[in-house]
Each structure stands twice: as structure tokens, then as C-alpha cells.
Structure 1
Amino acid sequence: MSRITVVTTLSIALSGMLAMPAYAAELNLSVELPQLNVAEYHRPYVAIWLEGADQKVAANLSVWYQNKDTKEGHGTKWLPDLRQWWRKSGRTLKVPVDGVTGPTRPVGKHALKFSDRQPALANLAPGTYTLVVEAAREVGGRELVKIPFTWPAKSTQTAQAKGSSEIGTVSLSVKP
């Protein structure tokens, strides 16, 4: 093998290593909205956020609400029904919030993925946090599910919690 071939091969190999993606810490969750056997069903409003050890909101991850005008008015009127989220964070937000708010979702499992490169997690200090999922439904109930975890994860962490009415199983996976 000539010296030029060795240098070229080494250069190509090193450039390939530099082009490899850097892996980022991830927070993956699945939120299940159960099928309810009720006379009048409305999709629930859902807020998903992180609380620090001080129980203050560290990051809003997602808020699902009726974001269009209806005969009852604009859906933001009902956001205060998400009582815990509203008291801790919602009343200070001007919705819609890009990358956070979106329309209500139908019955089923909904997957969400967040990277430490996204605004919600980019400035999250190392520590103990709680994932909080709150759901409230018109002519229905209200429910809150919490899952504690550590950020950033040194190894993969997984946990689940199950609601009893408005929220089904909530699964969390935190990867380094």
C-alpha cells in the first residue's frame, strides 16, 4: 500500500467519524387516553409538564386543547379546567405556544419525544424532576398522574403510572 493510499484511507475514516451524529439525551413518553362509555363524550384537554423538586414548573412539554372557534367560543376559555397546570404555569402563558400547544387528541396511545436540544429540555439543570400529566374533560372528570425521574439520566430510566378514569397508562423513558 502506498503512502498516499494510507493517508487517503485514514482521512476518509476520520471524516466518517466526525460526521457521526452526537447522541442527545431523550425523554420519551406515551400517554393513553382511554375509551369511555359515556352519553356525551368530549376529547380531554391535556397538559404535560415537568416540575422540579420545589414543585414549580421547570418546563411545559405539551398542551392539547380545542384551538379553534366553536359555537361555545374559543377553546382557551376552558384551559383553566386544567387546574394544577393553570395555577402553576398556564395563566402566565400566551397561547398558542409554538412547539408546545396543539389540538386535542382522540382516544388511543400518543407518543411524544423530546431531546435535550429542544427548548423545553435544553436549559434543564441536573436534578430530580416529576413528569406531570393532567387531563380534564367537558361533562367529565379531571385527573392527574405523576412520575418522578432524574435528569440527565446516567442510564436508561423507565417508569409507568396509570390513571383511573380520564388518563390511561402513562409511560416514561429517559435515555442518556
Structure 2
Amino acid sequence: MRKPLLLSLALLTAPVMAAELVVDVEIPRLQVAEYHRPYVALWLEEPDKRHVANLAVWYDLKLKDNEGEKWLKDMREWWRRSGRSLQMPVDGVSGATRAVGTHQLTFDDTKAPLKDLPAGDYRLVVEAAREVGGRELLRLPFTWPPQNAEKQQAQGESELGSVTVQLNP
């Protein structure tokens, strides 16, 4: 009698594996006279470039009178697709700019925006713009939900370093 009960309890407490999307974004060290941390937007789009969901927007939250919001439009593609219709800051999406280095974000199908994402082909888009600097945009295609572990990588040339998407079923 005890074995079936223990087995049932073990199954109930076993971790439920969720499909996940792990993104690594590298902010490169630039040798420039006047350095400012880049504003960065990460979002999902369909192959026809239709915006699906915002994942993260990093900008200067601490400027007086929300002055940092004024420069969000420098991330031109994100601004046209989604940014101009948002009331910043967005809980769970917006955050402070990041320092030089690699920054990891993890999303899974138990929470938005992946929870209700229909199966299909998508692209992760990462756009960076820097004051007294340039602008750069990278796109990494993927299929959701992942059937197998998969990794995509793109290399930036100026404002972004390596951007990697790891998909885990």
C-alpha cells in the first residue's frame, strides 16, 4: 500500500520541465572618447516583421524628469514596431542600461510572453543604440516550441557583441 502512495507523491513533487528561451547579449567594450551605455531592446517578431512581444528594454531610468524615455526612439525599428505605443516603464520588461559584459535573460513557457505564444517560426530581434555612438540590429530565427535543444548565434559589429539564443524543450 505504501509504495503506490510514495510513487504518487514523488511524481507530484517532481519538477515540471518547461520549454525555455535563454538569451545572452554581449555589450562590448568600446574604445571611444565619450562612452555611454547603450539602450537595448529585445523583442519577438514573426518572419514578416510583425511584432509579437517585448522581452526587455534597457534604458536610463534614473534621468531627471524621465529624460531617458526621450531617447528610446533612437532604437528606431523597435520604436516603430512597438515602443511608441508603450507607456514606460513596463513592469517586467523595462530596466536599467547594462554595463560592458554578457547579460543573460531566461524566459519559459509558464509565464508571459511565451505562455501563450502559438507554435510557429519567430525571430528574436536585438537592437542597440548609444548616445554619441551608433545603432545596430541583429535577428536570430527560431521555431517555437523547440522540439530539441537548439542554439543560434549572431555577431554584432559595433554596438552589440555576440548574441546567442538557446532553446530548450
TM-score range, shorter chain: over 0.9
Q: Which moved more, 1:30-39 or 1:110-119?
A: 110-119
| Pairing partner for 1:60 from 54, 59, 71 | 54
TM-score, structure 2 length as denominator?
0.97
2:13 equivalent to 1:19: yes
1:10 Cα deviation from its structure 2 partner: 2.1
Q: 1:42, 1:70 → 2: CA distance?
A: 17
Q: Which has the larger radius of gyration?
A: 1
| Pairing partner for 1:103 from 96, 120, 123 | 96
2:82 corresponds in structure 1 to 89
| Pairing partner for 2:127 from 129, 134, 139 | 134
Unaligned runs of 5+ in 2: none
Aligned residues: 169
Report the identity percentage. Answer: 53
Q: What is the RMSD of the two structures over their aligned residues, measured on CA atoms?
A: 1.1
Q: Which runs of 4+ in 1 moved over 4 A?
A: none
TM-score, structure 1 length as denominator?
0.93
| Pairing partner for 1:173 from 160, 166, 169 | 166
Q: 2:47, 2:165 → 1: CA distance?
A: 18
Unaligned runs of 5+ in 1: 1-6
1:113 Cα deviation from its structure 2 partner: 0.3
Where does 1:3-82 land on structure 2 (aligned, <5 Å)? 7-70=1-64, 74-82=67-75
